[in-house]
Structure 1
């Protein structure tokens, strides 16, 4: 019982809401949370970042975090023999899928999630690199991915995956059919990189820019495109993640 105006009676215990926790699985320090971080914090999430290659992922409680965010990386989801921690991540994601516990995957994270859902992940015919657009599907047009309609975003990947059973395809591109998928309000995966900030973009150009001429690109071209498209992409990123998190909040109210 509370007193007048919703105040607790003298001696009554006050319940303090437990902060929501977002566990971030990172695979490379250059491929970080970026502009997703401020949106998570604005929605009341405490961010805990784990560097998967150097952590005992198998020892983590897969259901303890309120949300798991799986970021990109140079690894391939099918290279579990070479990178054993990827198998542990897939096991964690499988446990969360079974419990319908929220997951947000980006690039490698989307591929690991596809594998956890039983789909094949494989090398694509050619890398998809640059500031490119994705096209929302009919389902995507009423999903958080709609914010990227007509908004170029960074692609930098050479792997792809079959669409897992029981999910909705939310976006496609001319080169790769599966650019985003979801299951209900709790699972969202994107092949593109909404997290890109100016600093991350520059890190990638420094780290992997030597491969750009193979795709008819240059560091200077991508810098110019970042200057042109970056602000819109960052706004779309905040809107995409914000909508997804709002959906989780609404889901928790009826659970």
Structure 2
């Protein structure tokens, strides 16, 4: 079966609707912030305009990356060796992410410095004048840390499948889940936020916990093939030897998975 014809997990559509609402709320906030920055520039405070543009760059870049994934334009990238089969995010997603972080870090630092001095021409309550420098300083630290970790990892993350485990890496941490510790593979979580995991694979663990592999559509178009790939290799340990050679990629491209 072609990967384009694989059935979408039932609970993903529910999560997708909530993400759309969240996206609209974030977009409205960005537009408001951007308008305030532009108005400050028209009043002669170009410094405020420049910093606002720097702050909104990261969320705009991330929205562009999400749009890329949502429209099914993700390009499959993989690598393999004798240890296992690795799936990598689309290069364009990594480029958008690192560009946004690189612009966010200095902009957030300057915001944190100049807000207490009254040099930012954006209406703020007294509480926001006190709280926002802390918020922007924290954002700067996170951005710098993410850039350093991203450079060390040479990317924003990866999924590595080996005959014994799944290695899940993002810009902050790496987790390894052994196949033998997985008791079920689902398209949603059993927690109260079960339908908020998005286009993810939820690994139900023997100890009662869960491990979520998220943002699957950043790796392959729609993310659906990766969901069925994880389920297939969990249910068929006899096929895991394929993960050490080209057969895993052949199976992924052909969509030859157990859909039961």
Q: Same fold (TM over 0.5)?
A: no
Larger-Rg structure: 2
Report the TM-score range of the alignment, normalised by the length of the smaller protein.
Answer: under 0.3
Report the structure, 1 or 2, having the larger strand content.
1
Question: Which has the higher relative contact order, 1 or 2, with Cα contacts under 8 A spaced 6 or more apart?
Answer: 2
TM-score after normalising by structure 2: 0.26
Report the structure, 1 or 2, having the larger helix content.
2
